[in-house]
Structure 1
Amino acid sequence: MASFPAVLRSEWTKIRSVRSTVWTLALTFVVTVGIGALLSLLTNNNFSEFRRNGQVPFDATGTSFSGIMLGELAIIVFGVLAIGNEYSSGMIRASLAAVPQRATLLTGKTAVLGALALAVSLMTAFATFFVGQALLGPHSTTIGEPNVLRAVFGAALYLTMLCLFSAGVTTMLHNQTLALGVLVPFFFLLSPILSAVPKVRTLAHYFPDYAGSRMLLVYEQPGQPYGPWTGFFICLAWTAAALVGGALVLRKRDA
């Protein structure tokens, strides 16, 4: 029976030894910071044009996080690859032979993935905020303003939960290509389409991407169905459901 610290070391070695996982994490940081910086600079240079007919307070924090959608895609791919690489290569059979306690194995994977995703997401969120505010010039805000620090942490937690949700879905499907085929349309096609259809818009409000976007809010806008904390708990519920589903499938199905 493998000890839990040994499982953690093994999972850490697997992740850092695969280039694709390292590159997707780096891409999460680069695209989120880079696109946020570009749009913050454009907003500063064209502020009067962007704010024409603006009815709500200018959200400088939200502007700096304008690139988070591509960051979401990168960290979803990271979560899928971190789990799916073992299935595609057949290494999952060796992992299960070394750690026959499947719950222990999945717990170790989740712990390492979550810790790594959280560390990168925190670096990404704070770098994105500070770079964006530097480029917004006189229209910037500070980390000490009401709700700003909570929104920055919210961005980091949202990216982390997306990673774990993707890992759970991949564990259920046992196939990284299939997992990406489900997750990418779900987040980037199905949810936006449903949000635009009046009769089913309410359903889309409880999808994880919409709930996650609430976590980044500094100003609660009129007409929104719920605020940041409710968004956090909805995302947490989706993440927990995916991981529990993954655990059940891993327990009942052969590798």
Structure 2
Amino acid sequence: MAAFPAVVQSEWTKVRSIRSTVWTLVVTFLIVVAMGFAISLLTKLNYDQFTEHNTAPFDATTTSLAGISLGELAIVVFGVLAVGNEYASGMIRVSLAAVPQRGVLMGAKTAVLGVLAFLVSLVTVFVAFFLGQAALGQYSTGLGEPHVLRAVFGAACYLTLLCLFSIGVTMMLRNQVLSLGILIPFFFLVSPILSIVPKVKDVVRYFPDRAGSAALQVYPTGDHPYGPWTGLLICAAWAAAALLGGYLVLKKRDA
């Protein structure tokens, strides 16, 4: 039986050796930070126009984290490529030959990718927050204000859960092109469009992206019938279900 620490080391080596996965994490950082800074600066320069018709309090935290709306794309691609490349290249056969215990293999892969996604997400959201607050100037907030630290930390958890969800989906589909062809339209077309359709929008609120995004809000907006931590739990349930499905497929099917 392969030792779990040795399998973790092997998975870490795989991630570092694939340029595409490294670059997707770099792109995640750049998108979230740059977009958050730009939107925060624009908000400061046009604060009166942006807040003229808003009845809710101005959310400086969400403004600085606005880049997450595009950063989701990069972190999803990271999860897909980190798994899908192994199937596309045929290296999954070598991995299963070296580690026939499929639960150990998937556990190590999930642990490495999940921890890496969380650490990168954590650094990304805090950098985006501080740069965004600097850009907002007199309209900024601080981590010591109510719910602000929770929102920033929740943003990192949210990105990590989306990555884990994409890992599970890719393990089930065993094809990176198909996985991207499903996940990207789902998160960036299907979910946003259905969220404004009256008869189904109440259901869409429980989709992983819609539920998890509740954690980013400092002030409740009425878009979610649950709190931020409940939203993260719903998103985590989606990720867990996808990973379970991925494990069952890996266990029952040959490479």
Q: SS state of the match for residue 199, structure 1?
A: coil
Unaligned 5+ residue runs, structure 2? none
What is the Cα deviation at residue 234 of structure 1?
Answer: 0.4
Q: Is the 8 A contact 2:158 2:215 kept in 1?
A: yes
Unaligned stretches of 5+ residues in structure 1: none
Q: Structure 2: how far apart are the matches of 1:244 and 1:145?
A: 38
Please give the alpha-carbon distance, in whole angstroms, between the structure 1 residues aligned to 2:224 and 2:180: 30
Partners of 2:185 and 2:253 in 1: CA distance:
26
| Partner SS, residue 135 of structure 1 | helix
* Matching residue's letter, 2:80: V
Q: CA RMSD in A?
A: 0.8
Aligned to 2:130: 130
Separation (CA, whole Å) in 2 of partners of 1:181 and 1:114 = 22
What residue is the counterpart of 2:91 in the other structure?
91
Provide the C-alpha distance between the structure 1 equivalents of 2:209 and 2:239, rounded to a whole number of angstroms: 12
Partner deviation per Cα, 1:137-185 (whole Å, 9 max, x = no partner): 0000000000000000000000001111100000000000000011001
Cα distance between partner residues in 1 of 2:226 and 2:29: 28
Separation of aligned partners in 2, 1:187 and 1:177: 16
1:109 aligns with 2:109: yes
Q: Is the 8 A contact 2:118 2:156 kept in 1?
A: yes
* Residue in structure 2 matched with residue 53 of structure 1 by the alignment: 53
Distance 1:221 1:197 in 2: 18
1:91–1:223 distance in 2 versus 1, CA, 3 Å: closer
Name the TM-score, length of structure 2 as normaliser.
0.99
Work out the CA distance in 1 between the residues paired with 2:222 and 2:160: 28
Would you identify which runs of 4 or more consecutive aligned residues in structure 1 move more than 6 Å?
none
Q: Does 1:169 align with 2:169?
A: yes
Q: Describe the superposition over 1:36-62 as per-residue Cα deviations: whole angstroms up to 9, x where unpaired.
A: 000000000110111112100000000
The code of the aligned residue for 2:65 comes to F
Matches within 5 A, 1:213-252: 213-222=213-222, 224-252=224-252
Specify the SS of the correspondent of 1:151: helix
What is the alpha-carbon distance in structure 2 between the residues aligned to residue 187 and residue 112 of structure 1? 24
- What per-residue deviation string (whole Å, max 9, x for no partner) do you get for residues 53-99 of structure 1? 21000000000011111110000000000000000000000000000
Structure 2 match to 1:7: 7
Shift of 1:222: 3.8
Deviation at 1:227, TM superposition (A): 1.7
* TM-score normalised by structure 1 residue count: 0.99
> For residue 109 of structure 2, what is the amino acid of its counterpart?
K
Q: Secondary structure at the match of 1:236?
A: helix
